[in-house]
Amino acid sequence: MDYLKIQGIDTLNGTIKISGAKNASLPLIAMTILAQNRVNIHNLPQVADIRTLLKLLSNLGAKCEFHDEHVDVDTSTINETKATYEIVKTMRASILVLGPLLSRFGHCEVSLPGGCAIGQRPIDLHLKALEQMGAEITIQAGYVQAAAPNGLKGCNIIFDKITVTGTANIVMAAALAHGTTTITNAAREPEVVQLCEVLNASGVTIEGIGTAMLTIHGTSGKLLEITPFSIIPDRIEAGTYLCAAAITNSELTLNDVEPKHLGAVLSKLEEMGCSCYVSENSITIHPAKELKPVTIITQEYPGFPTDMQAQFLALATQAHGTSIIEERLFENRFMHVSELQRMGAKIVLNGHTATVNGESKLSGTDVMATDLRASSALVLAALVAQGETNIHRIYHLDRGYDSLEKKLEGVGAKIERLKE
C-alpha cells in the first residue's frame, strides 16, 4: 500500500495544468451505454474511479481502448446487464449505469453502491423517479432489479432534494424514453450541464440546461450517435491547488481551468485576502498579506461545494482569527478533523459545524486519509507543518486526483510516494 511523505516547506511557485473532471467523466462514461457508435472521449483524468467504471463497462461486454490522449468506448457489444458487487462496492458512482442500462435494454441488475464513508447518500430518489417512468423496481440480495419491458415513459419528476447523481441518472434514462420527461429541482452542477450538452448534441433535445428545470425529449428507444467530446476541467482539483497556494503563502498559476465554475471558491479566497487574476482558461493566485478567517456553508452549485470544505478547513487553520465552517450536505464529512487535530490544528466540532481557531502551528506526524477530499486536506496541512508528515491510505486520494504528488513536486513541494 502506498503512502505520501511530505516535508513542510516555505512556498510554492510555478504552473499546474488541471486535468479533466472526474465528476464529469463518470456520468459521461455511463452515457456511452446509450450510443450506437464507438465514442471517443478526450481529457479523461488518470484516476482510480475512471478505471473502475471502465472496468465495469468491460465486464458488461463493452470494449474500452486506451490511446495516448483519449479513450474509445464501444458499448454495442454489451451482452450483460448485471453490475456486480465486486465492482460497484468500490465506487458509489457505479449506480450511474442503472438509468442507461434500463433505458436501453429494458432490464438490469445493479448492486447497491459503496464508496467513501462520508455519510448517507441513498438512491431512493433515483428509484422513485424510475418507478414514475414505469419501471418495476425490487431490491433482492443487495441488488437493485429493474425492469421496463415496454420501455420507460416520460413523466413529470420532482426531486424532494437536489441530487447530482440522481439528476444525471434520470437524464440518461429519459434520453431513450418514450415521450417527454420534466425534472424539477434538478442539479445545476457543471458536470450535469456537460452531460446534458453532450446528449443534446447527440440527438436528444434537452431544454433548460443549467437551470433547476430540465425537459428531456426521449428518442423512443433510438440509440444515439455521439460525436467525440472533451471532459471539462476539474473545478475541485483546481480549487485544491488554489488552497495549496493560499496556505503556503505562494503565487501559483493554473492552466486549462474553467474560472466560471469556481465562482464560490474564488470569492472565499478573495474574502480571505488572496488576489485571483482570471483569464479565459487560467487563474493566477497571489498570497494574502494576512490570511483572514472565513465563514463557509456548503451548498449545491452554484453555492460553496462540499467537495472543497475539507481543503478550506485546512486553510482556515492558518488564518488570523476564527473561522466557522458548516457542512449541510453530508453528515460524516468532518472525519479529517481528528487527523488535523493530531497535527496541532485547533478545531472544535459541534454537530455539522466546525469552529477553526487560526494561527495553528502544525507539526508533521503520521495521519490517515479517511475519504477522497479529506486526503487532500491532509496534504495541504502537511505542506505547512513543521517536520515530516506521512499520509497513509492514499488510495482514497488516487480515486480523484490525477498525479497530485507529481504536480505539487513540479511547483516546489517536497513530496514522495512510498510503499508501506
Give residue 326's pLDDT: 96
Contacts of 151 (CB under 8 A, 6+ apart): 103, 106, 134, 176, 177, 178, 220, 221
Question: Does position 251 have pLDDT exceeding 50, yes or no?
Answer: yes
3 state SS of 266: helix
Element (H, E) at 326: strand 322-326
Residue 35 DSSP symbol: B
* Residues paired with residue 294 on neighbouring β-strands, in sequence order: none
Amino acid occupying residue 220: S
Look at residue 103 and tell me whether its pLDDT is greater than 50.
Answer: yes
Per-residue pLDDT band for 120 (boundaries 50, 70, 90) equals very low
Residue 185 has pLDDT above 90, yes or no: yes
Question: Is 276 an annotated catalytic residue?
Answer: no
Percentage of residues in the chain with pLDDT exceeding 90? 87
- Looking at the predicted structure, is the pLDDT value of residue 115 above 70? no
Cα dihedral across residues 381, 384, 386, 390: positive or negative: positive
**Per annotation, catalytic residue among 64, 116, 196, 276:** 116
Residue 94's pLDDT is 87
Residue type, 406: K
Compute the average pLDDT of residues 105-120: 69
Q: What is the pLDDT of residue 15?
A: 98
Instruction: Look at 141 and 98; give whichever has higher pLDDT.
Output: 98
Please give the full DSSP string across 53-115, using - where no structure is assigned. Answer: HHHHHHHTT-EEEE-SSEEEEE-TT----EE-HHHHTT-GGGGGGHHHHHHHHSEEEEEPP--
Render pLDDT for 54-78 as a digit per residue (tens, 0 to 9).
999 999 999 999 987 899 999 999 9
Residue 159 has pLDDT above 60, yes or no: yes
Tell me, what's the pLDDT at 55? Answer: 95
Evaluate if residue 116 carries a pLDDT over 50. no
200-245: pLDDT as tens digits: 999 999 999 999 999 999 999 999 999 999 999 999 999 999 999 9
| Percent with pLDDT over 70 in the chain | 97
What average pLDDT does this structure show over 329-356?
A: 90
With a cut of 70, say whether residue 332 has pLDDT above it. Answer: no
Q: Cell digits for 26?
A: 463518470
Dihedral (Cα; 159, 161, 166, 170), 10-degree rounding: 10
What per-residue confidence (pLDDT) applies to 331?
Answer: 64
Alpha carbon 230 to its chain's center: 17
Assess whether the previous peptide bond of 149 is cis (omega < 30° from 0). no
Beta-bridged to residue 173, according to DSSP, are none
Per-residue pLDDT tens digits for 348-384: 999 899 999 999 999 999 999 988 878 999 999 999 9
Q: Of 286, 229, 283, 228, give the one whose Cα is nearest residue 256.
A: 283
Cell numbers describing residue 169? 441518472
Query: Given the C-alpha cell 450536505, which residue does it identify?
Result: 329
Strand order from edge to edge, sheet including 414-419: 366-368, 388-392, 2-7, 414-419
Nearest of 286, 278, 237 to residue 259 by alpha carbon: 278
